[in-house]
Amino acid sequence: MISDLAMRIRTIPQVYRNVNRWREILSILSKYGLAGWLSRIDFAFAKGLIKHRDGQPLADERRETRIRMALEELGPTFIKLGQIMSTRPDVVGPELAEELEKLQTKVPPDPPRLVSELVEEELGCPLNDVFAEFSETPVASASIGQVHRARLMNGELVAVKVQHRDTTRRVRVDLDILQGLAQLAERIPELACYRPCASVAEFQRALRRELDFDRERRHMEEFRRCFAGSDLVRIPRPIPEYSTDRVLVMEWLEGVPLSSTEAIANCGIDLSAVARHGAELYLDMIFRHGFYHADPHPGNLLLMEHEAIGLLDYGMVGRIDESLREEIEEFLLAIVEQDSAHLGAVVMRVGATPPGMDEAALGLDLADFVAHYANVPAERFELAAALREMFDLMRRHNIVLPAAMTMLLKVLVMLEGAGRRLTPSFSLMEVLRPYRKKMLARRISPSRQFRKARRIAYELEQLAEVFPRRMRDILQQVQSGRFDVHLDHRGLEPSVNRLVLGMMTSALFLGSVLLVTNNVWPLAFWPLDGLSAPGLVGVSLSAALGLRLLRAINKSGHLDRRR
């Protein structure tokens, strides 16, 4: 009782603190929700009254588009939320996930004075003591920070990533509000299917990791160790002595970003070879190291000399353990080999399935999915379209995949899109088909089998140590009469409610009849002259309760259960 009261008291600040920000957020959400209501009005002039800041009428937009516009207007934290949710098409649906991919991350940069003050505050010395040159104009400005070009005293050209002023405070406020909004959304049937509380918790973890620049520096160092001997990838070298959790100084990479279409076309590099090398690089990250760059959009990929690829921005990285890596390999191999039975087994084993799911219907849908892509040649197979259809299928059956798995599959979709920017004929499936031999070879390699056997032996050893002691405790409880079995009755509340209401109604009716027959407190006006006043009230109330009970039973068989 006390713990429940304390929990409710702790939730009060989430709703009532930061009132101005709450008002701003709710007004924007109401604004975009109002456009949906206007779209059902037949008067053409009313539909054009509310417009987006670009001047387009909101009522003409789809729900997914209005969600994206609202997130853009709400600011950096909500833009990041949309970007994270774009990696969860199994939760929000493929259409909304695809729309959220369009979220713009460009935000106005901080003034040069604020940037200089923050860098000096973090490094503990004047800017001129560290940098011979420091460009006041940033080369890029995103939701978390902005990047400046600079030169150290030794002449080395570097990139300085500086966190926006007060970002941590603003993010903390917005995360607090998001948690409150998620709790409210859980109570709305139309929004509960998006699992708002779980999605916000996942977003909080991801955003807090991205706010820590020291973590990003460690990621870069780990990637450099993994690919120290490769000439096909360039990872910037961080400079720890000038880096903190809000300032990151790293080597400057010179190259052509994939977002510059014209520059790519004129660079004179074999783009098809670069696309294939990039795909093999990512597959090596995922299936060999279990540690991969999770944001391969065109702005974070550079074309460099000798067909090398430069990777930027290590705020978002993915990690997968060996067991999940094996499941992902099986998932992709089942799609490549068009094996619907194997694919269904992997989905059921990895995903969180709802109780009472129709496995036969899922099997038929998977068979149709596999049959649709069975005869498509590898060079024309679009993995992105196949994965989007797979996500839509799983969402129809209310199957939720692990966050690590959906992020990885989303990275593969982005990777195929980046490859097609280089060469329109690029097919990630074509790279995956020969790669499956490497997957199978690693699966049966002696070192991997030894690690698996060692893990199983360790778990069996732990079970052997714990099992006798647990059995002894249970037998002692049985012998002393302290062994209790706790049963969780699910679904009995409506039946109990009906039974209690029926007993109360019958008791009220019988008591009211006795009052009427004994003329208790009779009325003195026509046409109820001589009838008991409390008796008539009781009979009327019992009749109303009885009708309500009959209506509830006739309608759904349940009483007071939310549908």
Residue 161 shares a structural domain with residue 61: no
Residue 160 shares a structural domain with residue 297: yes
Residue 152 shares a structural domain with residue 262: yes
Give, in order, the Cα–Cα distances in Å from 361 to each of 344, 366, 367, 425.
11, 9, 10, 35
Residue 82 shares a structural domain with residue 133: no
The answer to whether position 476 is within a domain reads yes
Confidence of residue 40 (pLDDT cuts 50, 70, 90): very low
What pLDDT does 6 receive? 45
What pLDDT does 4 receive? 44
Total domains in the fold of the chain? 4
Residue 234 shares a structural domain with residue 292: yes
Q: Which residues make Cβ contacts (< 8 Å) with residue 178, sequence separation at least 6? A: 77, 78, 81, 200, 203, 204
The answer to whether position 419 is within a domain reads no
Of the three residues 105, 122, 143, the one that is the final residue of a domain is 105
The answer to whether position 183 is within a domain reads no
Residue 227 shares a structural domain with residue 275: yes
Residue 68 shares a structural domain with residue 155: no
Residue 152 shares a structural domain with residue 212: yes
The answer to whether position 426 is within a domain reads no
Structure tokens at 10: 């702790």
CATH code for the domain in which residue 224 is found: 1.10.510.10
- Side-chain half-sphere of 206: how many Cα atoms within 13 Å? 25
Of the three residues 317, 339, 369, the one that is the final residue of a domain is 317
| Closest residue by Cα to residue 277 from 306, 317, 318 | 306
Confidence of residue 266 (pLDDT cuts 50, 70, 90): confident
pTM attached to this predicted model: 0.68
The one-letter amino acid code at 26 reads L
Q: What is the pLDDT of residues 411-460, one digit of tens each?
A: 888 888 888 888 888 888 778 777 767 777 777 778 777 877 888 888 88
Percent of the chain with pLDDT over 70: 84
CA dist., res. 299 & res. 260, Å (int): 8
The answer to whether position 350 is within a domain reads no
Residue 142 shares a structural domain with residue 252: yes
Across residues 459-472, what is the average pLDDT?
87
Q: Which of 90, 110, 284, 295 is catalytic?
A: 295
Of the three residues 267, 301, 317, the one that is the final residue of a domain is 317
Give, in order, the Cα–Cα distances in Å from 423 to each of 264, 275, 463.
11, 7, 54
Determine the Cα angle at 67 with ends 61 and 69, to 5°: 75
- Side-chain half-sphere of 162: how many Cα atoms within 13 Å? 32
| Domain span at 54 | 2-105
Across residues 108-136, what is the average pLDDT?
91
Which phi and psi angles does 13 have, rounded to 5°? -60, -30
Tell the residue number behind the tokens 């000096």, with chain if given.
120
The answer to whether position 383 is within a domain reads no
Residue 16 shares a structural domain with residue 125: no
| Closest residue by Cα to residue 537 from 518, 517, 509 | 509
The answer to whether position 338 is within a domain reads no
Residue 92 shares a structural domain with residue 217: no
The answer to whether position 336 is within a domain reads no
Catalytic residue flag (residue 295): yes
Q: Which residues make Cβ contacts (< 8 Å) with residue 399, sequence separation at least 6? A: 90, 347, 351, 352, 353, 354, 357, 362
Q: Which burial class, exposed, middle or buried, applies to 161 when counting CB atoms under 10 A from its CB (0-12, 13-18, 19+)?
A: buried
Compute and round to an integer the Cα radius of gyration of the chain. 31
Structure tokens at 400: 């939720």
Residue 498 shares a structural domain with residue 546: yes
